[in-house]
Chain A
């Protein structure tokens, strides 16, 4: 049962920031509400003011930046809009595919990318997938906007680098290098994933070997993270070998800072990270070889 609250509908980031400053701890930024309202119904926190970020102009953008070098996604764009976006599907097919697998359609219809990143629940899909795209977040605070690499924004479970007076306004995703192909795989039995793995491979010109590899694992540890050692080991490997299943991948989760919970033991999660790194690499390699 929702407690009573007052809703504020700012038109600009600056207004939202001012509202945050005015109401402090008793205020919460409100996007789709799919997490926030659940928590409020449970009686967690003492939220009396909701600051609706959906009324802020420009936060529903989903377009290429004017210089064409990055995709810009406004914080209030829903998972459903991303999943169905022709732009995403053609330019970032792995992200569209990942978005299609987030939660269920009811949650996707209201849940926003910004809400997902700011809630910073470790069992999430978008952070992992965005990490291999080297995404940045744009935060707006009293001192104006600042940009941060997503990897620096993700701090820990339910913890981001968002300042007390800031809001997230946009996510920027650089266009991937030519020929790059990516895959995202998630695994789990519950509402939220047990393991999420994203792999992005940039093949050489002949599409025979790996020129650059990016691999990220989410849900296993406190925050989603890239696997630099695995990425280095992949460099130069033949794509055909990855497509057939790269045995070394199986141990790639071994060093992860895994946390045992209702989803599974730390040991199982590490093992599954390895299995899905292998499978995601195979899928990305197949796409990298096939792309015309």
Chain B
């Protein structure tokens, strides 16, 4: 069994048929005709469907923020690989083979592959008409341009700020388009009837998806059922609708349950991270105090908005960095291009922003002849200080964190290192802290937790069980966490943004506490004493001189081994937004092979300020995992498109991800636990932050080791080699 055949394709749904997409070979092309005959003639093929065959469902656009996408491209294809038709067959091999026989006739249109050229007045438009806002949309497109969303942030007067500066630097940094590469590609099975729709899928967002499907099918939320098993990785790539609308619409059209699954190459044609081009101008006084920052960011959003407008908004805040900047002006534009749509990816806009903000801090340190750590300590916001007006004041001791990072690096310093670099990342995660949880205490003392954040491998379900075990004094082994099913489970906003432990964990903790309160009342009622006479001690109820286990209380109240106690927990906010600041710092020691440009990583130390590590091992592994993922966009990964918009690195043979051989000789994570988070037991979220510092820390180390400053990711050996030659040429000149 290959990986692509696992969840949800493993599900056996009676009568299921398979839909294989026919993908556009052009980045931008008008669809002028679909030749169905050859494919339709293949035995086992049930239907060959293009957008026009899907009725009104084929015309209804979807999109959580902008409704700009249809299940199949209708009039034109907007990126190479976009589904323009599907072949439905009794089995998957037949569907896939017949899909190759569909004869789609195209009229190629000029592609839009580069963000800057996409903004030229002469650029072809990816979307000819402005799409309507989605349910959660706040930003409209700029009509008659390729600007999908434009966000600005201002404070003070940058003119004044730059006047007060002794040193002003302006630099441009670029960040590549990269792919999530989850072990399990996207997959969905849908079964539509006129009154109900059920979708089994590996989405990260069951409730956002439910809403989208309800809008498309004009059904009540109660009639949409989204079932999500364990998911083989998401990193954001499975957030929001992906293959589900297609599966659902095809099912409604053919009247059978329909399965659509991607191979890894298909997933590469489904979603990616936003590429970015960041021009930042930074002013400082001679003592290092920052006076002003101006940033202009172009995000390459690809063909459809997906989460792009929110990525733009988050990028704006993330451009500020963890520093006191009295005057700033930031503009972020998410730009449509005819490439794979970009969406959520482990800290949206985070690595792109921190790459620029933390590279320029080291360039500034060099210009001021200051130690880069010192420069940061001078400018870091203190606990309680404002990062951005309207947001939660800083809830961490960043200076202490940075000093701890440096100390950890010093303690493990490698004698072979010729350069070291650090970077400090912060992000405002935990978007919309809305969650609900149901905890069921059974009369044998075991517990079922119903929550709707998806277990994508991050370990959340383990931690939720720990929280309930702690609250109810029930052994961890007696607790079962159930994966989301919107028919039975409680609402949750999303599985992303490092929000699980803090927000969903709080909902679950409240549900467990609700059970505790109910147990006291029930025990008192059973014993016939006033409610206040029952007390909770050491995981048991003390009442009328007796000590009862939670199960005793349930059985006692129902009078027999029967019944259960149901706790509920609601969260609508946890104080100011964000619920916490996610802190991700990193320090690296390197050596550079000057002949080849290969960067050798000797040590990498991550630091996550987690408030409370409810499960330290999971925290460490999340942080280290995020670092390793960060090594990808830092050293190797790039979705390379040709000028015509064709994806050149279109399989895992051409697309290079980090391998075990690429890991630094020493790789560790420092966890800071000050018990100061808004989540259970003072926990803050984590899991994305480890990604933030990797690229700038490494580029900063390269600059210190060699004098060569790299501003374009990934830092491939050829780029480093070319930069070394250029630096050498400058020194000789």
**B648 interface residue per 8 A CB criterion:** yes
Separation of A84 and B649 alpha carbons in the complex (Å): 33
- The interface residues of chain A, by DSSP majority, are classed as loop
Q: Please tell me if the beta carbons of A262 and B640 are within 8 angstroms of each other in the complex.
A: yes
Separation of A158 and B485 alpha carbons in the complex (Å): 51
Q: Please tell me if the beta carbons of A189 and B716 are within 8 angstroms of each other in the complex.
A: yes
Q: Which of A146-154, A163-171, A267-275 contacts B (4 or more CB under 8 A)?
A: A267-275
Q: Please tell me if the beta carbons of A265 and B718 are within 8 angstroms of each other in the complex.
A: yes
Nearest chain A CB to B185's CB is how many angstroms away? Answer: 14
Within 8 A of A (CB), among B616-672: 635-636, 640, 648-649, 653-654, 656
Nearest chain A CB to B414's CB is how many angstroms away? Answer: 23
Nearest chain A CB to B46's CB is how many angstroms away? Answer: 18
Contacts of B717 in A (CB 8 A): 189
| A262 touches which of B96, B97, B649 (Cβ 8 Å) | B649
**B193 interface residue per 8 A CB criterion:** no
**B384 interface residue per 8 A CB criterion:** no
Separation of A262 and B639 alpha carbons in the complex (Å): 11
| B596 touches which of A187, A190, A262 (Cβ 8 Å) | A187
Separation of A272 and B597 alpha carbons in the complex (Å): 10
Separation of A191 and B654 alpha carbons in the complex (Å): 7
Interface size counted on chain B using CB atoms at 8 A: 20
Question: B722: nearest residue on chain A (CB-CB)?
Answer: A268
Q: Please tell me if the beta carbons of A262 and B654 are within 8 angstroms of each other in the complex.
A: yes
Nearest chain A CB to B243's CB is how many angstroms away? Answer: 17
Contacts of A190 in B (CB 8 A): 653-654, 656
Separation of A89 and B214 alpha carbons in the complex (Å): 66
Give the A-B contact count at a CB cut-off of 8 A. Answer: 34
Contacts of B93 in A (CB 8 A): 1-2
Q: Please tell me if the beta carbons of A189 and B97 are within 8 angstroms of each other in the complex.
A: no
Point out residues on B near A: beta carbons under 8 Å: 92-93, 96-97, 100, 595-596, 635-636, 640, 648-649, 653-654, 656, 716-718, 721-722
Q: Please tell me if the beta carbons of A43 and B100 are within 8 angstroms of each other in the complex.
A: yes
Contacts of B596 in A (CB 8 A): 187, 272, 275
Q: Please tell me if the beta carbons of B595 and A275 are within 8 angstroms of each other in the complex.
A: yes
**A264 interface residue per 8 A CB criterion:** yes
Q: Please tell me if the beta carbons of B654 and A1 are within 8 angstroms of each other in the complex.
A: no
**A45 interface residue per 8 A CB criterion:** no
Nearest chain B CB to A57's CB is how many angstroms away? Answer: 33
Separation of A14 and B175 alpha carbons in the complex (Å): 56
Known: A189-B716, A262-B649. A3 touches B636 (CB 8 A): no
15 A-B residue pairs with Cβ-Cβ distance under 8 Å, sorted by A, are: A1-B92, A43-B100, A187-B596, A189-B636, A189-B717, A190-B656, A192-B653, A262-B648, A262-B649, A262-B654, A264-B716, A265-B718, A268-B718, A268-B721, A275-B596
Q: Please tell me if the beta carbons of B653 and A191 are within 8 angstroms of each other in the complex.
A: yes
Question: A264: nearest residue on chain B (CB-CB)?
Answer: B718
Contacts of A264 in B (CB 8 A): 716, 718
Within 8 A of B (CB), among A13-32: none
Contacts of B653 in A (CB 8 A): 190-192
Nearest chain B CB to A73's CB is how many angstroms away? Answer: 26
Contacts of B716 in A (CB 8 A): 189, 264
Separation of A275 and B722 alpha carbons in the complex (Å): 15
Separation of A192 and B640 alpha carbons in the complex (Å): 17
Separation of A185 and B640 alpha carbons in the complex (Å): 27
Contacts of B97 in A (CB 8 A): 1, 3
Contacts of B648 in A (CB 8 A): 262
Nearest chain B CB to A263's CB is how many angstroms away? Answer: 9
Nearest chain A CB to B366's CB is how many angstroms away? Answer: 27
Contacts of A187 in B (CB 8 A): 596
Nearest chain A CB to B17's CB is how many angstroms away? Answer: 16
A189-B635, A190-B654 given; name 16 further pairs at CB < 8 Å. Answer: A1-B92, A1-B96, A1-B97, A2-B93, A187-B596, A189-B656, A190-B653, A190-B656, A191-B653, A191-B654, A262-B648, A262-B649, A264-B718, A268-B721, A272-B596, A275-B596
Contacts of A272 in B (CB 8 A): 596
Interface string of A190-208 (1 = CB under 8 A from B): 1110000000000000000
Q: Which size class do A's interface residues fall under?
A: 10 to 19
Within 8 A of B (CB), among A233-289: 262, 264-265, 268, 271-272, 275
Contacts of B718 in A (CB 8 A): 264-265, 268
Question: A188: nearest residue on chain B (CB-CB)?
Answer: B717
Question: B655: nearest residue on chain A (CB-CB)?
Answer: A190
Question: B95: nearest residue on chain A (CB-CB)?
Answer: A1
Nearest chain B CB to A3's CB is how many angstroms away? Answer: 6
Contacts of B595 in A (CB 8 A): 275
Contacts of B635 in A (CB 8 A): 189
Contacts of B640 in A (CB 8 A): 262
Nearest chain B CB to A26's CB is how many angstroms away? Answer: 16
Contacts of B721 in A (CB 8 A): 268, 271
Residue in B653, B656, B717, B718 whose Cβ sees the most chain A Cβ within 10 Å: B718
Nearest chain B CB to A115's CB is how many angstroms away? Answer: 16
Contacts of A191 in B (CB 8 A): 653-654, 656
Question: A3: nearest residue on chain B (CB-CB)?
Answer: B97
Nearest chain A CB to B575's CB is how many angstroms away? Answer: 46
Separation of A49 and B74 alpha carbons in the complex (Å): 38
Separation of A2 and B93 alpha carbons in the complex (Å): 8
Separation of A191 and B93 alpha carbons in the complex (Å): 28
Question: B635: nearest residue on chain A (CB-CB)?
Answer: A189
Contacts of A189 in B (CB 8 A): 635-636, 656, 716-717
Separation of A2 and B722 alpha carbons in the complex (Å): 43
Separation of A268 and B718 alpha carbons in the complex (Å): 7
Nearest chain B CB to A278's CB is how many angstroms away? Answer: 8
Separation of A272 and B717 alpha carbons in the complex (Å): 10
Separation of A79 and B649 alpha carbons in the complex (Å): 26
Question: A261: nearest residue on chain B (CB-CB)?
Answer: B648
Separation of A164 and B595 alpha carbons in the complex (Å): 44
Separation of A187 and B653 alpha carbons in the complex (Å): 16
Within 8 A of B (CB), among A82-113: none
Contacts of B722 in A (CB 8 A): 268
Separation of A192 and B648 alpha carbons in the complex (Å): 15
Nearest chain B CB to A262's CB is how many angstroms away? Answer: 6
Separation of A3 and B42 alpha carbons in the complex (Å): 13
Question: A271: nearest residue on chain B (CB-CB)?
Answer: B721
Separation of A3 and B99 alpha carbons in the complex (Å): 12
Report the 3 A-B pairs with minimum CB-CB distance, sorted nearest first: A1-B96, A268-B718, A275-B595
Separation of A189 and B93 alpha carbons in the complex (Å): 34
Contacts of B649 in A (CB 8 A): 262
Separation of A189 and B718 alpha carbons in the complex (Å): 11
Nearest chain A CB to B336's CB is how many angstroms away? Answer: 26
Nearest chain A CB to B487's CB is how many angstroms away? Answer: 33
Separation of A265 and B718 alpha carbons in the complex (Å): 8
Separation of A1 and B92 alpha carbons in the complex (Å): 9
Separation of A1 and B95 alpha carbons in the complex (Å): 10
Question: B94: nearest residue on chain A (CB-CB)?
Answer: A1
Contacts of A262 in B (CB 8 A): 640, 648-649, 654
Separation of A265 and B719 alpha carbons in the complex (Å): 10
Separation of A268 and B595 alpha carbons in the complex (Å): 11
Separation of A3 and B97 alpha carbons in the complex (Å): 7
Contacts of A1 in B (CB 8 A): 92-93, 96-97
Residue in B97, B596, B648, B656 whose Cβ sees the most chain A Cβ within 10 Å: B596
Separation of A180 and B229 alpha carbons in the complex (Å): 61
Contacts of B636 in A (CB 8 A): 189
Nearest chain B CB to A189's CB is how many angstroms away? Answer: 6
Nearest chain B CB to A253's CB is how many angstroms away? Answer: 12
Contacts of B92 in A (CB 8 A): 1
Nearest chain A CB to B458's CB is how many angstroms away? Answer: 28
Question: B653: nearest residue on chain A (CB-CB)?
Answer: A191
Within 8 A of B (CB), among A27-79: 43
Nearest chain A CB to B598's CB is how many angstroms away? Answer: 8
Nearest chain A CB to B264's CB is how many angstroms away? Answer: 12
Nearest chain A CB to B21's CB is how many angstroms away? Answer: 13
Question: B597: nearest residue on chain A (CB-CB)?
Answer: A268
Separation of A1 and B717 alpha carbons in the complex (Å): 35
Contacts of A192 in B (CB 8 A): 653
Residue in B92, B93, B595, B636 whose Cβ sees the most chain A Cβ within 10 Å: B595
